[in-house]
Amino acid sequence: MSRIKALSLVVLSYLIYVQPIMAVQPNERLADPLLEERARMLSQNIRCLVCQNQSIDDSNATLAKDLRVLVREKLTAGATNDEIFDFLVDRYGDFILLNPPFKPSTYVLWYGPLIFLIVGLLMTVLIMNKSKRRVSEKPLSQAERVSLSKLLEQKDKT
Amino acid sequence: MAKTIFVFPLLVFFGVITYFTIPIVKKSDPKLIPSALVDKDVPENKLPPLFKNKRGFDHGDLVGGETLVNFFSSWCGPCRVEHDILMKISEEKTVRLFGINYKDQTQAAIRWLSELGDPFERIVADRDGRAAIDWGGLWRPRNVSN
């Protein structure tokens, strides 16, 4: 009995101590909580160029660690967020930003979905207009009306 | 007119297919990103020489003539493969070949060079990897030509 109790305690303690897994190591953190929060915010928008689909905040790659430390050093030295992003873009290009910048070369990216939506709507309107016209284009001819009434009579008989 | 417009989605579809198929057929590596530093000045560096008997260099030494700057490490596997090519380049003497020893221990780097040969005219040491970031470096040593 006591063994089961002890075992369940161990299991429970594991459940309690579940923490979000972070790549940021304790010794990297800044003492100032405000700066640290900014550092986390910035790192979440900086791509780890080794793993490429992770931010440097999530990645365990050594380059990600180097960049995390670099971001924190710059913050401590009083750099603004934009200065830090610019510093990285100068070296690695826009690809290092997880949130692509809005500029002429990315207009297709940002406006693309809107253009597709407009084209889609236009085509829908065109198609619907056409089908409406097809139904009410012209009245039935004499011959058509006769054959229609014949068909209806047949239906009534059965 | 009304009918030709319905060809449009099909054209877009084939356009997209072509765009995404070309890199697959060409077997290009999607992880390779074009460098942001092409046509720009070489980043400033004030790194110390790797060891006493060999001169170091700074960004000023790269002016005039073409120089191939190679990041290398004794712990880096692909560098071993690359080293043969570097040795050939240094024999041909068409470009100057400078080395930056990346995140390495000096003794290990010296042993590496004495074992495999030393193709470099000058070598500096980037112990914390900070210079590599200035050069747009990734997870392991990389070549940069000027």
Contact state of A70 with B139 under an 8 Å Cβ cutoff? no
CA nearest neighbour of A94 among A84, A85, A83, A107:
A85
With vertex at residue A51, the alpha carbon angle to CA A45 and CA A52, rounded to the nearest 5 degrees, is 50
Judged by DSSP in three states, A143 sits in: helix
All structural domains of chain A: 23-101 (1.10.8.640), 105-157 (no CATH)
CA nearest neighbour of B75 among B119, B106, B120, B108:
B108
ipTM value: 0.74
Superfamily for the B59-145 domain: Glutaredoxin (3.40.30.10)
What mean pLDDT is reported for chain B?
A: 84
Task: Assess A97–B contact: CB distance below 8 Å, yes or no.
Answer: no
pLDDT digits (tens, 9 = 90+) for A91-149: 888 888 988 888 888 888 899 999 999 999 998 998 888 777 666 667 888 888 899 99
Among partner residues A50, A93, A123, which is closest to B5 by beta-carbon distance? A123
Helices A81-92 and A33-43 meet at what angle, rounded to 10? Answer: 30
CA nearest neighbour of B111 among B45, B38, B50, B40:
B50
pLDDT digits (tens, 9 = 90+) for A54-82: 888 888 888 888 999 999 999 999 889 99
CA nearest neighbour of B51 among B97, B115, B116, B120:
B120
Q: Where are the domains of chain B?
A: 59-145
